[in-house]
Structure 1
Amino acid sequence: MSSNNIPLRPGRRPGKSETRTQILESARRAFSQNGFARTTVRAIATEAQVDPALIHHYFGSKEQLFTAAIALPLDPKKVLAPVHSSTSDQLGTSLLTAVLGVWESEHQAAILAAFRSAISGEGTRLIQSFLLNIVLRDIIPRVDSPAGTGIIRAELVASQIAGLLVTRYILELEPLKSLSVDALVPLVAPNLQRYLTGELPI
């Protein structure tokens, strides 16, 4: 079925603000229920009863729509650029530095609010999708040795990062909360690096 045949809601044509909100609400439901990888732009458009072209008009790409759906005030691609350009033996350090750099930036309040909201109820699926399909997606094939271990390596890293963010920024455990990023990265990054490129007993 062509995008032109997608039925629109009857009545007054929705305004730009209403249409954008409508798309975001449908996207949140779809990403929460199905995860990032199994959610398509067309499915979101059908749920929102809009032309798929409107999603690209308002949000650009599926990744940008996902970022908007979880209310992140930044572009993950720009944040992760140093990670993707780093060597394999520096992935743990570059990834943790990038993540903590964002949380320690002027965007901290907005990111914290989005994170708190996402870890409640069905929003946990959004966090899972964000970590595996946005933050770690391009890293998985780089660390897939032996073949088939890339995903478990990524999930181990995700567990470490998520746990660190919760204990440092949500629970605010001391002295972890007060450690500088420069002090924290050397403590945690070696664990991430071991998960990414070290030998796994599986």
Structure 2
Amino acid sequence: MTTGQDRKRPGRPPGPSDTRERILAVARDLFARNGFDNTSIRSIAGGAGVDAALVHHYFGTKTQLFAAAIHIPIDPMTVIGPLRDVPVDQIGHVLPALLLPLWDSEMGKGFIATLRSLLAGSDVSMVRSFLQDVITAEVGGRVDDPPGTGRIRVQFVASQLVGVVMARYILELEPFKSLPVEQIAKTIAPNLQRYLTGDLPGLG
């Protein structure tokens, strides 16, 4: 005999672990095929055969779901969000001061491991989409001067930061690997700021 306690809760299919993994699998596929902007929580839920509310229940926001889909151990918006309150002429200085200590932390080890996996796998399109759809949307519009240069300015910044990750954490070049994070952040900050707000050859 089925009691009230035995009945499934509405919207909660059996096997929560399987359901979570099914949502992640669909999310990875849709993010890779359609990009971050063109993938909705509703479409992911539909593909996984669950209610959209259940996706939010397991993962929270779309950026948190994206982070889970590519195994980034932190919500990207914890870094991107604070930049909204940073004056444009300071973003290049604040960004490395936020990222370098994070990459050097225990949590950062998970990020580096994920990056190694992505570089060796086929999920690069997801990261490219996230960079173009989210980072550029958040920062690019603020540095789009002259008009039309915001996207490439953000990509110049990304190239510098990816270079730091490669040299310090992937290739582990010495003495760069052992430099204090504050020294690296202060050294690259003026260059990042120039990419964002300075004159760049051939732009404009």
> C-alpha distance in 2, partners of 1:177/1:133?
31
Report the 3-state secondary structure (helix = DSSP H, G, I; strand = E; otherwise coil) of the residue aligned with 1:148: coil
> C-alpha distance in 2, partners of 1:38/1:119?
23
- 1:135 CA drift (Å): 4.1
| Residue segments in structure 2 that go unaligned for 5+ positions in a row | 1-12
| Residue segments in structure 1 that go unaligned for 5+ positions in a row | 1-12
Could you report, residue by residue, the CA deviation over 1:70-124 in whole angstroms, capped at 9, with x for unpaired residues? Answer: 2122222223344222211111111111111210112122112111122223211
Hey, what does 2:158 align to over in structure 1? Answer: 158
CA contact (8 A) 1:23 1:44 kept: yes
- 1:136 CA drift (Å): 4.5
Q: Matched residue pairs, number?
A: 190
User: Please, what TM-score do these two structures have when normalized by structure 1?
Assistant: 0.86
The one-letter code of the counterpart of 1:102 is: L
> C-alpha distance in 2, partners of 1:82/1:51?
31
Could you report, residue by residue, the CA deviation over 1:160-188 in whole angstroms, capped at 9, with x for unpaired residues? Answer: 11121112111111121111111111221
Hey, what does 2:38 align to over in structure 1? Answer: 38
Hey, what does 2:56 align to over in structure 1? Answer: 56
CA contact (8 A) 2:63 2:77 kept: no
CA contact (8 A) 2:92 2:190 kept: yes
User: Please, what TM-score do these two structures have when normalized by structure 2?
Assistant: 0.85
The one-letter code of the counterpart of 1:65 is: L
Hey, what does 2:103 align to over in structure 1? Answer: 103
Provide the alpha-carbon RMSD of the alignment.
1.8
Q: Which has the larger radius of gyration?
A: 2
Hey, what does 2:123 align to over in structure 1? Answer: 123
Hey, what does 2:23 align to over in structure 1? Answer: 23
